């Protein structure tokens, strides 16, 4: 098929694009996942590893060819301290909300269940904030204040369909965690890169249209 013929094909969007990219770039996603697991292993570098993963997945979504390892390492090292600080600010809030939801759920009291539901909703919101933040860290050069401001505010500006797609990425991670360690092969091979790919698609359009500097 010629380049002209490819340009005349209908543009893939939504889950069709995600499925197409997942199938055609499966080996790339597996390689990305393995590199991510290695660079996130010290835990302290988790925000930088996520930002690098989002950077590469953004390129995969645009169906661009790129040197995987070199691109990943460059994104991992880019603005290292700012990415580390901004990432951990939001990740600590997210993990705190998840722990609180699990704690209140375990109490088995009516009031506690209400608090558990509130914490669960907060965790979902903070996950969407994380998706915004790490995509911006992977694509844009903003100072810490505007980064965090946009990450929190853009959740309310995202179209409902795109927010739902972000929640699919949360579902992928949730299922991997729920059935762990049976899902260990999935986690090691593709779980994180697939979730990041879905999240990137969910947030990219609104961020690139509406980021406030």
Residue 211 lies in a domain: no
Residue 6 lies in a domain: no
* Range(s) of the domain holding residue 25: 14-34+44-204
Residue 39 lies in a domain: no
Residue 3 lies in a domain: no
Query: Beta-carbon neighbour count of residue 122 at 10 Å?
Result: 17
Residue 8 lies in a domain: no
Query: So what's the pLDDT on residue 212?
Result: 53
Residue 193 lies in a domain: yes
pLDDT, tens digit only, all 213 positions of the chain: 444 444 444 677 777 889 999 999 999 999 999 999 999 998 999 999 999 999 999 999 988 899 999 999 999 999 999 999 999 999 999 999 999 999 999 987 888 899 999 999 999 999 999 999 999 999 988 899 999 999 999 999 999 999 999 999 999 999 999 999 999 999 999 999 999 999 999 999 889 887 754
Residue 104 lies in a domain: yes
Rounded CA Rg of the chain: 18
Query: So what's the pLDDT on residue 59?
Result: 94
**Domain total for the chain?**
1
Half-sphere exposure of 95 (CA within 13 A, CB side): 7
For 213, the token pair is: 């500097």
For 139, the token pair is: 């694509």
Residue 5 lies in a domain: no
Look-up of token digits 């359009």? 205
């Amino acid at each position: 098929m010629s380049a002209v013929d490819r340009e005349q094909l209908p543009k893939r969007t939504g889950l069709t694009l995600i499925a197409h990219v997942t199938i055609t770039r499966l080996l790339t996603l597996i390689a990305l996942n393995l590199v991510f697991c290695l660079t996130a292993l010290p835990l302290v570098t988790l925000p930088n590893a996520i930002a690098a993963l989002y950077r590469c997945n953004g390129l995969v979504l645009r169906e661009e060819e790129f040197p995987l390892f070199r691109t990943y390492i460059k994104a991992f090292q880019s603005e290292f301290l700012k990415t580390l600080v901004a990432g951990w600010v939001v990740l600590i809030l997210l993990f705190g909300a998840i722990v609180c939801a699990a704690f209140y759920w375990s109490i088995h009291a009516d009031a506690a269940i209400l608090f558990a539901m509130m914490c669960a909703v907060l965790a979902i919101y903070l996950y969407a904030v994380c998706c915004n933040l790490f995509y911006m860290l992977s694509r844009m050069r903003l100072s810490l204040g505007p980064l965090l401001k946009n990450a929190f505010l853009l959740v309310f500006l995202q179209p409902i369909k795109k927010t739902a797609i972000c929640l699919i990425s949360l579902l992928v991670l949730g299922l991997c965690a729920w059935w762990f360690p049976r899902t260990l092969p999935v986690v090691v091979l593709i779980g994180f890169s697939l979730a990041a790919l879905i999240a990137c698609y969910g947030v990219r359009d609104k961020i690139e249209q509406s980021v406030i500097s």
